[in-house]
Copies of this chain bind each other. A is one copy, B any other.
Amino acid sequence: MTKYSVVGKSVPRVDARDKAAGRAKYAVDEDLPGCLVGLVLRSPHPHARIVHIDTGRAERLAGVKAILTARDAPLPPPKRSSIEQDKRIFARGRARFVGDELAAVAARDEDTAGEALELIRVEYAQLPAVFTPEDALKPGAPIVPEDGDNIAGSFCLTRGDVDAAFARADHIFQDELETQIQNQCYLEPLSCLASYDVNGRLTIWISSMDPSGVRLCLAQTLGLPEGRVRMIQCNVGGAFGGKITMLPIYPICALLSMKTGRPVKMMNNREEEFIATLPRVPMVIDIKTGFSKDGIFLAKETKVLADNGAYMDKGPRIVIKGTVLPDNVYRVANIRSEGKIVYTNKSAVGAFRGFGTAQLTYALETHLDRVARELGMTPQELRLKNFTRPGDLTAHGWKVGTCGLKECIEEVSQKINFGKIKSHTRGLGVACTAYDCDNRQSADFGGSVAYVKISEEGKVQIISGEADYGQGMRTIFAQMAAEVLGVSMAEVEIPLPDSDYTPFSQGPWALRVTVSGGNAVMLAAEDAKCQLLELAAHMLEANVKDLELAEGKIQVKGSPGKGLSLAEVARYAIFKPSGSAIIGKGVDEPDTNPRDPKTFYGNSSRAYIFGSQVVEVDIDRETGRLKILNISSAHDLGTAINPAAAEGQIEGGIATGLGLGLTEEVLYNQGAVLNPNLVDYKVPTAADMPPIETILVQPYDHKCAFGAKAIGMPGTILPPPALSNAIYDALGVRVNSLPMTPMKILKCLERLGTEV
């Protein structure tokens, strides 16, 4: 790593001081003169015909400026080619889950808006509701969507000859596992400020993961030309996938501003966060595999049944991607996967760290642990026999370049030695994962655009439309630009996206921000550097080839005396006749193909990441209480641009993975959430975190800027299966559903006792 000055160093995050000092502005901190407060009236019933909404009394309340219901909202549902949302702004005809948006109020303050909500009278005719995919598929089940049946999406894909492979397998294994609904629990609830001006232009301040995409979607939903929607990104207080699509609060806030002619601010309360956002897709996963007697992975069949909730967001895509990705960890040629995701009268589900992969990795890696044991191998041995190698073409079409999976498995195995523990309460579990970096969506633009401007005093400004939603993107981009231009981090600025000024960006599909956005920044910085050198050559009357840029200075190679500061050249560029600030441009466009929409086959990413984790647990056999003694997590992320940030990502991911594995579940009763608050819903806290050792495996990937791939997802994906396997290692029982609570562990122990 010595060849870089800034890249590869654990410099502090560019937004750290602002956030720590409470000075960072979030959407709710934005304000405009005459700003109103908006609140939403939600259905208390999981399924009901809306007979009549009487807003008369609420409208007469002093301080109420507007009340909207479905009749005030544009009719067509939001549609965008890559996100098949079918939620209308307000429920039409029927309320389909507890929390469904029925009406909204804008008033001078929150108290008045709240009072107005209470004055709205809604007459309902309750309808039979359905709460599980199994029930929703039964003949005669209530139909949740506007038309058709309850199947929100289904897929079936085959690689190789699955039946023949199973036929020649020596051993066939089968398991059924189940995952739960997990809420993102980001600290900053959904919030926005919308201001529709007298010229018919909407400006909206949001904290989105995909400001460009949400802007286009919002314009389409509202029936406004895209050019009339300005999207200003604020700091994002956590997102984890939950803020990647257009959520109802945005068009509602916009409509309230359009109706009142005044700015309107809205923010979910925590209960709304639990009942009406897009939590993790719960799945029932049936997995069957065939192995040769010496442990070669021959065939795999997966059947997934998932719960879509009442409206469509990314559910079907999550089921497909979640099912396909874990397969790429192994050299298995014969695969059949099918999945169904089904409407029910619960809140819609959506993207959450892992995009379905956490659920399916939990299933596959738990299943493989059993396979290894039954084949008489250690879990590592089985994996090392079958894992994907650099240069492989996987069954799903991944052209694997760098792949540090072997090092990852070896590293974590070394750290926590298997077979050494002999105790009735302690156990070790291992799991592996793979993820794609930039997941091309179509044959159209699949990259990123950035500009790097050099202003007076040699200040470097990065103009990118990519979003920093807490993952640290701005710091990574700033390090890349600083590295290319030979300046310190303090000289680099990277403002938040504003659609008036920053270029269009793809959403943060997969983990594309560093590889694609970062590459654009690097190219833009290189372009700016070329322009600087050319100008300096003119100023110094030197040949551009003889010049070098280092430590904020441009000088003639070998003549350290003769030189110009970056500031001098930048200033000359602006103030010379016909001058203007140097602006470098970078366009990233990866050499990838979109996956085939039917078969989901294809090499849609320029690079792939891998990881492996070992967890050591100690379990109280009386109470089922589990204590994590150690986690060792090794990750092939390519070059770590900022090792501390990468470790932070891994540790944060592990926290979410522990919640998924052990404690978190949104509990429903007849469609109503029972624990919509952070007391009854158990997110791991700092005090719950075990000792974690992170190991960064850094093969240099030539397809990526500075060799850096990605790191976002694996931390979250690995803990549930690693924990599941550790529990088995300790107790000899399998808890085949998440979260693996003490109660479930005790029940398994009881059953084991009965069986024995």
Interface residues of A in 21-67 (CB under 8 A from B): 21, 23, 25, 29, 31-33
Separation of A576 and B576 alpha carbons in the complex (Å): 36
Q: Which residues of B contact A226 (CB under 8 A)?
A: 455-457, 459
Within 8 Å of chain B (Cβ to Cβ): is A579?
yes
Q: 18 A-B contacts, Cβ less than 8 Å apart?
A: A14-B199, A201-B493, A226-B455, A226-B456, A226-B457, A227-B457, A227-B459, A443-B577, A444-B575, A444-B577, A445-B574, A445-B576, A445-B578, A461-B500, A501-B501, A504-B580, A504-B581, A580-B585
Q: Which residues of B contact A499 (CB under 8 A)?
A: 455
With contacts A449-B580, A500-B461, A577-B443 taken as known, whether A493 is within 8 angstroms of B17 at the C-beta atoms is no
Q: Are A447 and B503 in contact (CB under 8 A)?
A: no
Separation of A213 and B503 alpha carbons in the complex (Å): 27
Within 8 Å of chain B (Cβ to Cβ): is A294?
no
Q: What is the distance, in angstroms, from A186's C-beta to the closest C-beta of chain B?
A: 20
Size bracket of the A interface: 35 or more
With contacts A18-B197, A198-B23 taken as known, whether A504 is within 8 angstroms of B574 at the C-beta atoms is yes
Within 8 Å of chain B (Cβ to Cβ): is A587?
yes
Separation of A578 and B197 alpha carbons in the complex (Å): 34
Q: Are A29 and B33 in contact (CB under 8 A)?
A: yes
Within 8 Å of chain B (Cβ to Cβ): is A261?
yes
Q: What is the distance, in angstroms, from A418's C-beta to the closest C-beta of chain B?
A: 47
Within 8 Å of chain B (Cβ to Cβ): is A446?
yes
Beyond A444-B575, A449-B579, A463-B501, 15 additional contacts (C-beta under 8 Å) are A17-B197, A17-B199, A18-B197, A21-B261, A25-B32, A25-B33, A29-B32, A227-B493, A445-B575, A446-B577, A447-B577, A461-B500, A500-B501, A504-B581, A580-B585
- Give A14's nearest chain B residue, CB to CB: B199
Q: What is the distance, in angstroms, from A374's C-beta to the closest C-beta of chain B?
A: 49
Within 8 Å of chain B (Cβ to Cβ): is A109?
no
Q: Which residues of B contact A455 (CB under 8 A)?
A: 226-227, 499, 504
Separation of A589 and B446 alpha carbons in the complex (Å): 38
Q: Are B29 and A199 in contact (CB under 8 A)?
A: no
Within 8 Å of chain B (Cβ to Cβ): is A495?
yes
Q: Are A225 and B589 in contact (CB under 8 A)?
A: no
Within 8 Å of chain B (Cβ to Cβ): is A301?
no
Q: Are B579 and A445 in contact (CB under 8 A)?
A: yes
Set B29, B457, B493, B500: member contacting A495, Cβ < 8 A: B500
Within 8 Å of chain B (Cβ to Cβ): is A491?
yes
Interface residues of A in 430-489 (CB under 8 A from B): 443-447, 449, 455-459, 461, 463
- Give A442's nearest chain B residue, CB to CB: B575
Interface residues of A in 339-376 (CB under 8 A from B): none
Separation of A181 and B320 alpha carbons in the complex (Å): 77
Q: Which 8 A-B pairs have the closest CB atoms?
A: A227-B459, A17-B198, A578-B589, A445-B579, A449-B580, A227-B457, A226-B456, A501-B501
A485-517 interface bits toward B, Cβ cutoff 8 Å, 1 = contact, 0 = none: 000000101010011110110000000000000
Q: What is the distance, in angstroms, from A580's C-beta to the closest C-beta of chain B?
A: 4
Separation of A608 and B493 alpha carbons in the complex (Å): 42
Separation of A198 and B589 alpha carbons in the complex (Å): 36
Q: Are A227 and B458 in contact (CB under 8 A)?
A: yes
With contacts A447-B578, A495-B500, A585-B580 taken as known, whether A18 is within 8 angstroms of B459 at the C-beta atoms is no
Within 8 Å of chain B (Cβ to Cβ): is A216?
yes
With contacts A197-B18, A227-B457, A581-B504 taken as known, whether A576 is within 8 angstroms of B216 at the C-beta atoms is no
